[in-house]
């Protein structure tokens, strides 16, 4: 695992624990020699992550759409800053360049990035490990949603189990390193159920 993409917020969050644990993760990634790929910003948790990596001698690559870069929020001290033309291109570059993914607390952009890579995993387009660093229980409601979606039959249990969740950066990194994709059952059973339903209408 040579590179990890980290999704995180452009805000700092209210509780200082978000900043502290983000910085702790950055130091760990740098000490492991892992190249970090992230959104390229100098604000919020993105800025904390980048600074902690760079100050620890690590490699940090930012990927940012031109329209956002033009707002002057791009970090100007990164190992490399890649400017792309759209959010879709940014996510595609992240998916291609990274060997694994970690989501930190963030807002709608973080949720969008996480949902995209989870969907790629569900479709078996990507088998790269995906983790949530559940700082301060931030993702509890999201994981509860996934549990509910499994119970209601909208997310498969094996897809849910492919998502690694931990509140401890060290534990999360260890689990990402030892990750093996959970086998995905055939969708034929669902196709047969759907066919039977429409036949009975």
Number of domains in the chain: 1
* Predicted structure pTM score: 0.89
41-81 residue pLDDT tens? 999 999 999 999 999 999 999 999 998 877 768 898 999 99
Per cent of the chain over pLDDT 70 is: 91
Tens digit of each residue's pLDDT (9 = 90 or more) over 165-181: 999 999 999 999 999 88
Range of the domain at 76: 3-200
Q: Categorize the per-residue pLDDT at 189 as very low, low, confident or very high, splitting at 50, 70 and 90.
A: low
Q: 48: Cβ–Cβ under 8 A, 6 or more apart, which residues?
A: 12, 19, 22, 23, 26
Q: What is the CATH number of the domain that holds 77?
A: 3.40.50.450
pLDDT digits (tens, 9 = 90+) for 79-91: 999 999 999 999 9
């Amino acid at each position: 695992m040579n590179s990890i993409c980290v999704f995180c917020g452009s805000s700092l969050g209210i509780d200082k624990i978000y900043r502290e644990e983000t910085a702790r993760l950055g130091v760990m990634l740098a000490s492991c020699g892992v190249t970090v790929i992230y959104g390229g910003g100098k604000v919020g948790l993105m800025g904390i992550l980048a600074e902690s990596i760079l100050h620890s001698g690590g490699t940090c690559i930012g990927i940012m759409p031109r329209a956002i870069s033009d707002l002057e929020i791009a970090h100007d001290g990164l190992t490399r800053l890649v400017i792309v033309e759209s959010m879709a291109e940014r996510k595609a570059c992240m998916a291609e360049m990274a060997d694994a993914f970690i989501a930190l607390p963030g807002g709608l952009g973080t949720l969008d990035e996480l949902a995209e890579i989870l969907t790629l995993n569900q479709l078996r387009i990507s088998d790269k490990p995906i983790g949530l660093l559940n700082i301060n229980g931030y993702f509890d409601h999201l994981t509860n949603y996934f549990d509910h979606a499994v119970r209601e039959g909208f997310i498969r249990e094996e897809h849910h189990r492919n998502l690694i969740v931990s509140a401890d950066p060290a534990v999360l990194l260890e689990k990402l390193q030892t990750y093996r994709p959970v086998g995905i059952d055939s969708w034929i059973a669902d196709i047969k159920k759907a066919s039977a339903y429409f036949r009975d209408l």
